[in-house]
Amino acid sequence: MCFHFQQQKGAVAFEKKGLSGTPIKNSFNGFSHPEASVITDALPNQLSRFQWGLIPSWSKDRSIQKYTLNAKLETLQEKPSFRKNKRCLVPTDGFFEWQWQDLMGKKKQKYKIVIGQEELFMFAGLWDTWLDVATGELVYTFAVVTTEAQGIMRQIHNTKLRMPLVLTNEQEQNWLLNKVVEPFSNFEAKPVE
């Protein structure tokens, strides 16, 4: 699963990819439901600010959000929370995973996962809007799509064997157009002290 990633690059890195807008520079812990920069199928050349943890438009309240940080690629069409959602890209310059070092789960090593010299790469994502009837606020939210772990991620994320669905530059538009994409798995893992 993917619960921690960063967006540390400035506007220049996004402009190189043809994107306008002001990026949010931060490291994110999904469990705090932070705002992050995303690119939606509705505005494919613009950075938008969405809250992490998808709240489907039909939801009565925010309580579902703690369960929708990630969406499994294999079950997108089965789960009501994800079936009718729109697609987005979640830019990152690295994400973090922990490898369990012992069978008891007491010792673990943190890794930063990157793609070679790529300044930015994209997670596949889903987004939706939800109306908070108590406040009248329209809330924009997203989830990171995950897939079965491959390559080095099978060794690092060795408990649930999942990883974010990372897209190549060529796959980004295909994802936004609802086309099938293959998972990218040529990652580098750097231990973090």
Question: How much is the average pLDDT of 21-42?
Answer: 93
Of 99 and 36, more confident: 36
Say which amino acid occupies 59: S
Alpha-carbon distances, residue 105 vs 5, 26, 49, 87, 108 (angstroms): 22, 28, 35, 35, 7
Alpha-carbon distances, residue 127 vs 15, 54, 153 (angstroms): 23, 6, 25
Specify the pLDDT at position 129: 97
Structural domain total, the chain: 1
> How many residues belong to the chain?
193
Specify the pLDDT at position 117: 85
Please report, for the domain that includes residue 109, its CATH number. Answer: 3.90.1680.10
Specify the pLDDT at position 83: 86
Range of the domain at 74: 4-192
Each residue of 104-124: pLDDT tens digit?
A: 778 889 999 999 888 899 999
pLDDT above 90: residue 67 = yes
Specify the pLDDT at position 114: 94
pLDDT above 90: residue 101 = no
CA distance 192 to 111: 5
Each residue of 155-180: pLDDT tens digit?
A: 887 678 899 999 999 999 999 999 98
Specify the pLDDT at position 157: 73
**84 — phi, psi (to 5°)?**
-110, 15
**Which residue bears the tokens 């889903």?**
126
Chain centroid, CA 150 distance in Å? 17
Identify the helix (H) or strand (E) that includes residue 127.
Answer: strand 121-132
Each residue of 84-95: pLDDT tens digit?
A: 889 999 999 999
CA distance 89 to 175: 8
Rg of the Cα trace of the chain? 16
Specify the pLDDT at position 100: 84
